[in-house]
Amino acid sequence: MITRRHLLEAAGAGAAAAATGMRFATVARAESAASRLTPGVPAGVASYVQMGRLPGKRPLIQLADRPPNYETPIEYLRTPITPNDAFFVRYHLSDIPEVKAETYRLAVGGEGANSALELSLEDLKKMPAVEVVAVNQCSGNRRGLSKPHVAGVEWGYGAMGCARWKGARLKDILDKVGLKKEAIEIAFNGADGPAVDKTPDFIKSIPVWKAMDENTIVAYEMNGEPLPHFNGFPARVIVPGWTGTYWMKHVISINALTRPQGGFWMNPAYRIPVGKFPIRDRFITQENATSTPITEMVVNSLITSHRDGDKVKVGKVVVSGLAWDGGYGIRSVDVSTDGGRSWTAAILGPDLGRFAFRPWHFEFTARRGRNTLTVNATNKIGQTQTSELIFNPAGYHNNVMQSITLTA
């Protein structure tokens, strides 16, 4: 429910941000921002949403500004690589310092390590560099489409983006301190922190096997440039295939653990019911009888060339969009124009890697009146999207096949 308190907090947040030297500009009226919302999000969101501009960003859908949570409009998602200034912003904590490159230090150690060290940004850049193209998607992307609605940031389609991330392998960093055979998890903490003592610090961990994967890196570049401040400068953790909760921004410590990481952000947060989703990457040391941590992204797709309700001309129309999954790779995208009775394969675009967005396009003949299209992606291990929401209390893993209606 959207309350007067919510609106007052949103208004006060801008003043609080200004007091810390961080400026958040509003660049459009609420009505304009409301038109960018994904159909199906709670009606009350339109009463407070704005198009806001963070430093270094073009206008994004401002769902909250303390902490800053800004969604990417679908118009910015028409290419497989999302520009840095269009990339969504997601924070849990509102104390976000400006970390300087020259004073940055990354502490590496923990009881599961044989030694400890500190790395500067220059130290990271001296290590063998790797690049991976990967989708960063908030675990709660499409939460606002849950029925019944659930608590949390009411994201539509745009809490995601895909970039070329460059940095050092986490494995190579951990090799510098050495892992004990007892090490089971690798924990991360960032420079951002809670505004009040009662708020738990945002600390996350991943299994050792995922940390040692060659694609898991500590990145300092995004699309050939230093990381933007609001996407984790000077360095962040990149966990390709897994949801963004593990992609720690402004990372300042990496600790090897011999016991499971505790804390609110590991349990009860970011968990899904056991057996609900076709997940293969298990986080066994954090599982219990009823819930398991969210890990890999489920297969999904999105139409980005058109919005629901757009008008088109009678005749040939090309619809296009993106498809992605947890790193198995997209095998096909199919489109139906008759309510799912028959399907036609779309044409896939360039393959930038198994963790990346896969572009696709589909041509159909629009008849006068309403034309409804439904899109469904399938990955290379045969997983496909669902026709009905798999409900869970946190609104995670919404991969219901998207339908839009175009009027010719």
Beta-bridge partner residues of 242: 296
Q: What angle do CA 10, 191, 127 make, to 5 degrees?
A: 135
pLDDT over 90 at 365, yes or no: yes
State how far the Cα of 10 lies from the Cα of 26, in Å rounded to an integer: 12
Q: Under DSSP, is residue 93 helix (H, G, I), strand (E, B) or coil?
A: coil
pLDDT over 70 at 21, yes or no: no
pLDDT over 50 at 10, yes or no: no
Give me the pLDDT at residue 196, please: 87
> Which part of the chain has CATH 2.60.40.650?
300-407
Structure tokens belonging to residue 392: 């869970």
In the chain, the percentage of residues whose pLDDT exceeds 90 is 90
Dihedral sign computed on CA atoms, order 392, 242, 335, 143: positive
**In which band, very low, low, confident or very high, does the pLDDT at 4 lie, cut at 50, 70 and 90?**
very low
pTM reported for the whole predicted model: 0.92
pLDDT digits (tens, 9 = 90+) for 353-363: 999 999 999 99
pLDDT over 80 at 234, yes or no: yes
pLDDT digits (tens, 9 = 90+) for 312-348: 999 999 999 999 999 999 999 999 999 999 999 999 9
Give me the pLDDT at residue 26, please: 52
139 closest CA partner among 306, 279, 288: 279
Q: What angle do CA 188, 146, 269 make, to 5 degrees?
A: 25
Amino acid at 99: V
**Is 239 exposed, middle or buried (CB count within 10 Å of its CB: 0-12, 13-18, 19+)?**
buried
The chain-wide mean pLDDT, for the chain, equals 93
Q: Under DSSP, is residue 396 helix (H, G, I), strand (E, B) or coil?
A: coil
> Which part of the chain has CATH 3.90.420.10?
101-293
pLDDT digits (tens, 9 = 90+) for 381-396: 999 999 999 999 999 9
Structure tokens belonging to residue 330: 């997209």
**Which range, of 4-18, 114-128, 151-165, averages the lowest pLDDT?**
4-18
Strands 117-120 and 105-109: antiparallel
pLDDT digits (tens, 9 = 90+) for 189-218: 999 999 888 899 999 999 999 999 999 999
- The mean pLDDT value for 85-113 works out to 97
Give me the pLDDT at residue 143, please: 98
Give me the pLDDT at residue 369, please: 97
Q: Under DSSP, is residue 137 helix (H, G, I), strand (E, B) or coil?
A: strand
Asked if 368 contacts 408 with a C-beta cutoff of 8 angstroms, the reply is yes
Give me the pLDDT at residue 13, please: 36
- The mean pLDDT value for 21-27 works out to 50
Structure tokens belonging to residue 248: 């720690």
Q: Which CATH class is domain 300-407?
A: mainly beta
Give me the pLDDT at residue 31, please: 53
In the chain, the percentage of residues whose pLDDT exceeds 70 is 92
Asked if 221 contacts 227 with a C-beta cutoff of 8 angstroms, the reply is yes
Give me the pLDDT at residue 195, please: 85
Query: Residue 35: how many CB atoms within 10 A of its CB?
Result: 13
Give me the pLDDT at residue 197, please: 85
pLDDT digits (tens, 9 = 90+) for 246-293: 999 999 999 999 999 999 999 999 999 999 999 999 999 999 999 999
- The mean pLDDT value for 125-131 works out to 98
Q: Which fold has domain 101-293?
A: Sulfite Oxidase; Chain A, domain 2 (3.90.420)
